[in-house]
Amino acid sequence: MAKLSIPEAAKRAAFPQVKTLEDMRSIGIKKVVTYTNGTAQMANLKLGKIEVGKTIICKQHGKNSKLITNHRYTLEAENDKQFQVEGQWYLKSWFRADTSLTCHSVQGDAIAQRFAIMETECSFASKEWFWTACTRATKAKDVYIYTGTPLLKGLGDRIRRKLFLHQEEDKKKGRAFDLDADWVRKRLKDQNYCCALCHSVMDVMYADLSDEQWSIDRKDNAHGHTKDNCQLAHWGCNRAKGARPL
Ligand SMILES: [Zn+2]
């Protein structure tokens, strides 16, 4: 007998399905379990709001900080670029809202509210992963499967489009260019999908002209788009920096 794929298995198990973020909001789903950090960050941007008094999850931190990765902290205060937890200030990009959990960060936890499992179509997601995600529920009827458009769908096209435009621009101006799609993807992950200038999450599923969208920021505008001269930042932050008098 052929093995069932995860979405088929989910259908047979009769978990209800949700197809859009709007549907999730309307039926009161406030948590999601994802496979990748990138999808978790996008779901946070669309569903989760980080507020003082709420819980946030540490995703990365500097060498000498007392923070623990995947540990939850209560947000005590925030300023432009930093969050305060346990009386100390840290970069915002080291944290994520407690809305979206990767299976890895949720192991051993119980979720006592409705939640949706995303990325069940992801080729890396195993049945064990799906099982771990499902069994976080304290009630089976709280589990929903997201079967809509993957939140990072279209990212490849957007990366290629931006790179093409920058390459043309550098060619015209006689500047060096050595960026590629792998560099952008690695950089997004390394920056935890956050802006290098303000440290808040960037949108990869942006509407045209949105200031929240990711962009490639040249640290020194006298030079071209090269790996050692570039970082990722909100389009809005990038333009504001360019407009600042030196
Ligand atoms: Zn920014």
pLDDT digits (tens, 9 = 90+) for 233-244: 999 999 998 766
Please tell me the distance between residue 236's alpha carbon and the centre of ligand 1 in angstroms: 7
User: Residue 243 and residue 246: Cα distance in Å, rounded?
Assistant: 9
Minimal CA–CA distance to 111: which of 100, 119, 122? 100
CB-based contact 29:115 (threshold 8 Å): yes
**Ligand 1 centroid to 187 CA: how many Å?**
15
State the distance from the centre of ligand 1 to the C-alpha of 221, rounded, in angstroms: 18
More confident residue, 63 or 76: 76
pLDDT of 246 > 70? The answer is no
The predicted pLDDT at position 24 comes to 93
User: How far does residue 183's CA lie from ligand 1's centre (Å)?
Assistant: 19
CB distance 231 to 217 below 8 Å: yes
134 touches 117 (CB < 8 A): yes
Taking the centre of ligand 1 as the mean of its atom positions, its distance from the CA of residue 218, in whole angstroms, is: 14
Q: What is the per-residue pLDDT for 62?
A: 85
Digit-coded pLDDT (tens) for 189-220: 999 999 999 999 999 888 788 999 999 999 99
- Taking CA atoms, 92 is separated from 89, 189, 233, 237, in Å, by 9, 15, 14, 15
User: How many angstroms separate the CA atoms of 98 and 34, rounded?
Assistant: 12
pLDDT tens-digit series, residues 3-57: 566 666 666 667 899 999 999 999 999 899 998 888 998 998 888 888 999 999 9
What pLDDT is attached to residue 64? 83
**217 CA from centroid of ligand 1 (Å):** 11
| Cα of 81 from ligand 1 centre, angstroms | 9
234 CA distance to ligand 1 middle (Å): 4
Q: Report every protein residue that has its C-beta within 5 angstroms of ion ligand 1.
A: 195, 197-198, 234, 237
pLDDT given for residue 225 in this prediction: 97
Per-residue pLDDT tens digits for 85-120? 999 999 999 998 888 887 776 667 788 899 999 998
**Spatial separation of the C-alpha atoms in residues 214 and 204, rounded to whole Å:** 6
**How many Å lie between the centroid of ligand 1 and the Cα of residue 206?**
14
Q: What is the pLDDT of residues 154-172, one digit of tens each?
A: 899 999 999 999 999 999 9
Measured in whole angstroms, how far is the alpha carbon of residue 146 from the centre of its chain? Answer: 17
Query: Token pair for residue 132?
Result: 């771990």
Taking the centre of ligand 1 as the mean of its atom positions, its distance from the CA of residue 235, in whole angstroms, is: 7
Whole-angstrom distance between the N-terminal and C-terminal Cα of the chain? 69
CA 69 to centroid of ligand 1, rounded, Å: 23
In this predicted structure, what is the pLDDT of residue 7?
66
Res 186 pLDDT > 90: yes
What is the tens place of the pLDDT at every residue in 136-158?
888 888 999 999 999 998 899 99
